[in-house]
């Protein structure tokens, strides 16, 4: 059965391209570039290519762009070309925010920690995790975090947020989804603790809630703190939407300004959060060492599962989070067009986050606003994901984008 037309289903709706306020921050529109790992932070620092990438997206009309991914400490990295927060990179971050602001957009910094899937070769030691766990992607076991480790990571998140603010960022996004460390505490699959940080959902929430509260205490009351969270890990026995809705309430109480419901587990269901193509051939090309290339060639389709892409594939779950809280909730997951964005506004989502569409066309927001395009022509092949680990994220399809006829 066909869906009703947008005009029939939502006769009145706020404008996607009108300015709106998120806590103490006014954005020129409600379109936010999602945190998409760029692979452009060689040496763990800000590079000119990283700045240029986001400057281009900002010039393309986005309301706010999200710099991804910055670990709150050196031991939270999966790659050597991931940012990790320290005073030495603040000048580079200041150049980054100045460049984005000059194009009229706001800048958010995504803060997180890889936890059990951090790379031992990059961090020089065993990774930390909620519980001892084997990571297939790293062929390594993490060690269970102690009370002292937990206290240190809480302090690291707060210190990183302060440095982000001082570097000129307008918001921070705490990564509590996709199987990163905060998500590892929430998920029953990675959290097997028997102390006050494991077992019941209340206990599994304790560490993420402490982090959010510490970050809120480190920043002024109206500084936006977005929390990206999972609604579903992607397999039976992982986090599901009922617990996610309860987690959303806890995040709101701890001081979150807004929530971004997402899904998937980087170390187990890596494309669940994106859906679409599984570019094994391109992934193989990006690997270093013949053994790794051979393993990816033979077992890549087993390690990286295929999930069928559908427009707005997280809408039902996102509605559950929206209805559970009183703070703003953004929508992410299969946003392809202006119609999708307007429908999200009509459904009381505060903003939308888009990723691959802006990799495909940095001017995506401007093209939608001007009427030059009605939708992205990204085909969700995910080859851009394959390229990010070595050469930096880019669209592999022919350029320039073939803009869709606004009347289609």
pLDDT in tens, 95-148: 999 999 999 999 999 999 999 999 999 999 999 999 999 988 788 899 999 999
pLDDT recorded at residue 404: 43
Model pTM score: 0.91
Check if the beta carbon of residue 252 is closer than 8 Å to that of residue 325: yes
Helix H segments across 117-200? 120-123, 147-166, 181-186
Class in CATH terms, 6-387 = alpha beta
Residue 20, SS3? strand
Asked if residue 18 has pLDDT above 80, the reply is yes
Q: How high does pLDDT run on average in the chain?
A: 90
- Spatial separation of the C-alpha atoms in residues 208 and 248, rounded to whole Å: 11
**309 counts as catalytic:** no
- Spatial separation of the C-alpha atoms in residues 44 and 371, rounded to whole Å: 39
The more confident residue out of 380 and 292 is 380
Residues 6+ apart with CB under 8 A from 261: 229, 230, 231, 244, 248, 314, 317, 318, 321, 329, 331, 332
pLDDT, tens digit, for every residue of 187-243?
999 999 999 999 999 999 999 999 999 999 999 999 999 999 999 999 999 999 999
- For 374, counting Cβ atoms within 10 Å of its Cβ (0-12 exposed, 13-18 middle, 19+ buried), the class is middle
Asked if residue 391 has pLDDT above 60, the reply is yes
Kindly list the domain boundaries of the chain, sorted by start residue.
Answer: 6-387
Check if the beta carbon of residue 29 is closer than 8 Å to that of residue 19: yes
**DSSP code at position 348:** T
pLDDT, tens digit, for every residue of 331-362?
999 999 999 999 999 999 999 999 999 999 99
Q: Among candidates 179, 193, 202, 173, which has minimal Cα distance to 355? A: 173
Catalytic residue among 180, 185, 197, 307: 180
pLDDT, tens digit, for every residue of 261-299?
999 999 899 899 999 998 766 665 655 555 454 455 444
């Amino acid at each position: 059965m066909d869906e009703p037309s947008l005009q029939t289903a939502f006769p009145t709706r706020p404008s996607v391209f009108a300015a709106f306020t998120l806590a103490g921050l006014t954005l020129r529109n409600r379109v936010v570039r999602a945190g998409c790992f760029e692979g452009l932070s060689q040496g763990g620092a800000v590079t000119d290519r990283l700045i240029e990438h986001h400057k281009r997206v900002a010039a393309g009309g986005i309301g706010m762009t999200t710099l991804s991914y910055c670990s709150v400490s050196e031991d939270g990295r999966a790659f050597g070309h991931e940012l990790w927060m320290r005073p030495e990179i603040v000048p580079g971050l200041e150049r980054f925010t100045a460049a984005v602001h000059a194009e009229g957009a706001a800048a958010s910094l995504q803060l997180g920690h890889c936890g059990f899937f951090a790379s031992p070769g990059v961090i020089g030691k065993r990774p930390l995790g909620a519980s001892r766990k084997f990571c297939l992607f790293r062929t390594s076991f993490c060690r269970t975090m102690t009370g002292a480790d937990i206290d240190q990571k809480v302090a690291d998140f707060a210190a990183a947020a302060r440095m982000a603010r001082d570097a000129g960022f307008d918001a921070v996004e705490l990564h509590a989804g996709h199987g990163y460390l905060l998500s590892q505490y929430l998920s029953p699959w990675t959290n097997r603790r028997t102390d006050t940080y494991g077992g019941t959902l209340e206990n599994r929430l304790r560490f993420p809630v402490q982090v959010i509260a510490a970050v809120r205490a480190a920043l002024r009351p109206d500084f936006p703190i977005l929390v990206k969270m999972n609604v579903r890990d992607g397999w039976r026995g992982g986090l599901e939407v009922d617990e996610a809705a309860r987690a959303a309430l806890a995040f709101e109480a701890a001081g979150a300004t807004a929530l971004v419901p997402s899904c998937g587990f980087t170390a187990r269901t890596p494309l669940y959060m994106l859906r679409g193509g599984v570019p094994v051939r391109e992934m193989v090309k990006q690997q270093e060492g013949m053994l790794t290339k051979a393993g990816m060639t033979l077992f890549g389709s087993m390690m990286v599962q295929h999930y069928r892409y559908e427009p707005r594939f997280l809408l039902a779950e996102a509605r559950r989070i929206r209805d559970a809280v009183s703070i703003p909730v953004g929508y992410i997951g299969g946003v392809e067009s202006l119609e999708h964005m307007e429908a999200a506004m009509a459904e009381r989502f505060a903003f939308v986050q888009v990723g691959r569409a802006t990799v495909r066309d940095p001017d995506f927001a401007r093209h939608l606003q001007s009427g030059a395009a009605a939708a992205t022509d990204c085909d969700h092949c995910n080859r851009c994901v394959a390229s990010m680990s070595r050469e930096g994220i880019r669209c592999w399809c022919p350029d320039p984008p073939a803009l869709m006829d606004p009347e289609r």
